[in-house]
Amino acid sequence: MKIKFNDEETFKNFKGNDLKDSNKDPITLRSACIDALLANPPDDRANGKEKVRRFELAQKLSNVEETEFDISVEDLSLIKSMAGKAFVTVAIGRMFEALEKGKIG
């Protein structure tokens, strides 16, 4: 499946203000996906192989210059699962909205 990453569109809170990451940068769909994959939640029991898989997918997402990205259902599920462990509710909600909005085909 293809997902469209609009790096100009930032996640907003309920007042319309940008959601920001720990570095105070506005959060986009691409940055949220990368941050979710690179997160180390306290209950993370992933082995080295799984962590390398997450790292490689995050690297692929960060290196792609195109706005459309081919992603497998399994990789999308992994991103969503990691986001659920790493983010506050409003960020997860905006991320899932953006992923649904960004599906192509």
Residues 31, 6 contacting (CB under 8 angstroms): no
Q: For the sheet containing 2-4, what is the strand order?
A: 68-70, 2-4, 103-104
Summarize pLDDT for 26-59 with one digit per residue, the tens. Answer: 999 999 999 999 999 888 899 999 999 999 999 9
Residue spans per domain, the chain:
2-11+27-104
Q: How confident is the model at residue 2 (pLDDT cuts 50, 70, 90)?
A: confident
Burial of 15 (0-12, 13-18, 19+ CB in 10 A): exposed
